Amino acid sequence: MVDSTEKPRLSKPLLLLMATAISATVSGLYYNQPLLPDMATTFSLDDGLVGLIPSASQLGYAAAILLISPLGDTMARRNLIGYLSIVMTLASLGVFLAPNFAVLITACFALGLGANITQQLIPLGAALSTPETRGKTMGTLMAGLTLGILLSRIVSGSIAEYFGWRSVFLFAALLAAFFGVLLWTNLPKNKPNVSLTYPKLIASMFALIKKHPLLRESALTGALWFAAFNALWATLAIHVTNEPFFFTVQQAGLFGLVGMSGILGAKLAGRLVDSWGPRPIMTCALVLVALSFGVLAVWGNHLAGLVIGVILLDLGVFGAQIPNQVRVFSIDPDAQSRMNAVYMLCYYIAAALGSAVGVKVMSLAGWEGVSLFGAGLAALAILNHLRNRT
């Protein structure tokens, strides 16, 4: 939150820079996924150990949401983003140069910490926006986030194909340094209104949960639909590589391109929420999520049914995300970073639980069981959302 003497405006070039930086930063979390077989060969890892590589990055990201994100309310965000850019640059170089597995895992964890840049830029965008344009701003920033996740695997795989897996992280280091300089040069200076010691800052997040019913409702609703979303994506490859499809792993990965519909959902919701308000947009989006699992349950053994179901799911999830975040950021302008930390922490906990339970349900009840599980979570999200009138 900026002080009363300085009210910088969010220009279109600055918004584009922030969205592009979010895309480049979040990509760093996912570069390792297509590279795992090559990394396993380099360090002579078995399947159990190689799985720790992506886990380390995600654990670092989750730790940063809890322990670093709240600092955006008490520190100038430009300074904090600058420090995080240095961390991400050095961590990427650490992966590039890693001589052994221990250094690799440590660097991956630090890379996840540095990627907290994304969770600083999103509340900063909300703070720099007017209430009338906040939805459009969130739509643009979330579109950048989605695009980064989707393109990361393509970029890393393409670079590694010609230059080896280590070169991907040299590229990531150069990209982090480049955007670090651009953000430091172009982001406005701000003086936060909150002055708390670090222990009190972290403890205050729990006070915010207790104080604001809308934060609790938004976090729980988002957690429910994101658990359903991750249950689907954790089991989709298992489903399509078995009968009746028998797709290859590469073919299964192409379903990620279908997820591009999420960008359309984010942009559309961002435009509509400014004129219609968050509540009706969220209701429509959640209905799409529930409908998607109905389509997947009935026609999930047909390619057309799968594609339509995934499109509806991504449209619904990202279409609901924007108005939900707009509501969260509107609760307390002086606590936007902590609000976002609470919200995103619930999101990632739900993602982990949804993925784990989804895989277990798949083993017990097959694809139909996963679809019904997702539909049940979507129904609970709708009911929880309708209980609140805000």
| pLDDT score recorded for residue 81 | 96
Report the range of poorest mean pLDDT among 14-18, 257-261, 295-299, 372-376. 257-261
Q: What is the pLDDT of residues 300-336, one digit of tens each?
A: 999 999 999 999 998 999 899 989 988 998 898 888 8
For tokens 């965008």, name the residue.
125
Domains 12-195 and 207-387 share a fold: yes
Q: What is the value of pTM for the model shown?
A: 0.78
CA end-to-end span of the chain: 23
Q: Rounded distance, CA 347 to CA 192, Å? A: 26
Residue 388 has pLDDT above 80, yes or no: no
What residues contact residue 258 under an 8 Å CB cut-off, 6+ apart?
307, 310, 311, 314
Which helix (H) or strand (E) segment is 317 a member of?
Answer: helix 303-331
Axis crossing angle, helix 36-43 with helix 165-186, rounded to the nearest 10: 120
Residue 2 has pLDDT above 60, yes or no: no
**Which CATH class, in words, describes the domain spanning 207-387?**
mainly alpha
Give the HSE-up count for residue 389: Cα atoms under 13 Å, Cβ half-sphere: 0
What residues contact residue 176 under an 8 Å CB cut-off, 6+ apart?
24, 25, 28, 85, 88, 89, 92, 114
Q: Where are the domains of the chain?
A: 12-195, 207-387
| pLDDT score recorded for residue 374 | 96
| pLDDT score recorded for residue 1 | 39
Residue 38 has pLDDT above 90, yes or no: no
- The pLDDT of 255-283, averaged and rounded, is 83
- Contact (CB, 8 A) for 70 and 205: yes
Residue 88 has pLDDT above 80, yes or no: yes
Residue 22 has pLDDT above 80, yes or no: yes
| pLDDT score recorded for residue 256 | 67
| pLDDT score recorded for residue 34 | 75
| pLDDT score recorded for residue 3 | 41
The CATH T-level fold of domain 12-195 is: Growth Hormone; Chain: A; (1.20.1250)
At residue 57's C-alpha, the angle toward residues 50 and 359, to 5°, is 65
Residue 90 has pLDDT above 90, yes or no: yes
- The pLDDT of 90-106, averaged and rounded, is 96
Give the HSE-up count for residue 82: Cα atoms under 13 Å, Cβ half-sphere: 13
Q: Rounded distance, CA 75 to CA 120, Å? A: 11
